């Protein structure tokens, strides 16, 4: 299913969740400093770069495109941290990847169009900054240490070997799926 919005097409999966992708952008492979961007709605607040997937777009391609547009960075796409579902007021299903930044643009699409800014944070500090207004984004960083090792294969192929292996659900936290190296249809969701 698709919904059209000015300059944007929203895509939904078969369960009615908005299809989204995001990246935790790190300064290096130590993953101790993460790049956050200012919110377009609340410029004094920070968020993890990410957004809606376009029709026929794979999760990893959407994640790379979104960080390029929102944060003005390119880099090496890493592992899939998980798929986060937020069920309260808006049903989102977000594929969250890691990315090691290799290039930072001086001017980028969202900096020029909407004045978006970016800033490096230590992971603990980023969790504190995100917790008050974007607790789901803070949860991405909390899950950093509980992702699969070795890194998961690409999530952009129907036979990629990822499977849901762990779910966390309660009234206040997002549903979370950890990737695994056993066979399944995770990428087809």
Residues with catalytic function: 69
Query: Which residues fall within 8 angstroms of residue 178, CB to CB, at 6 or more apart?
Result: 82, 143, 146, 147, 148, 164, 165, 166
Cis peptide bond N-terminal to 97, omega within 30: no
Determine the Cα–Cα distance for residues 56 and 161; give it in Å rounded to an integer: 20
Query: Which residues fall within 8 angstroms of residue 89, CB to CB, at 6 or more apart?
Result: none
């Amino acid at each position: 299913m698709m919904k059209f919005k000015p300059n944007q097409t929203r895509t939904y999966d078969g369960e009615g969740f908005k299809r989204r992708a995001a990246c935790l952008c790190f300064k290096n492979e130590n993953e101790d400093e993460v790049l956050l961007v200012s919110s377009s709605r609340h410029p004094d607040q920070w968020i993890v770069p990410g957004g809606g997937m376009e029709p026929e777009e794979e999760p990893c391609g959407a994640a790379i495109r979104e960080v390029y547009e929102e944060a003005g960075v390119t880099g090496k796409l890493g592992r899939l941290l998980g798929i986060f579902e937020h069920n309260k007021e808006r049903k989102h299903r977000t594929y969250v990847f890691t990315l090691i930044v290799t290039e930072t643009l001086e001017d980028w699409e969202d900096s020029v169009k909407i004045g978006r800014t970016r800033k490096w944070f230590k992971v603990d500090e980023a969790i504190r900054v995100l917790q008050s207004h974007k607790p789901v984004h803070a949860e991405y960083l909390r899950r950093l240490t509980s992702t699969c090792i070795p890194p998961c294969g690409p999530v952009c192929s129907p036979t990629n070997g990822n499977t849901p292996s762990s779910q966390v659900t309660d009234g206040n936290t997002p549903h979370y799926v950890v990737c695994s190296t056993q066979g399944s249809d995770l990428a087809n969701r």
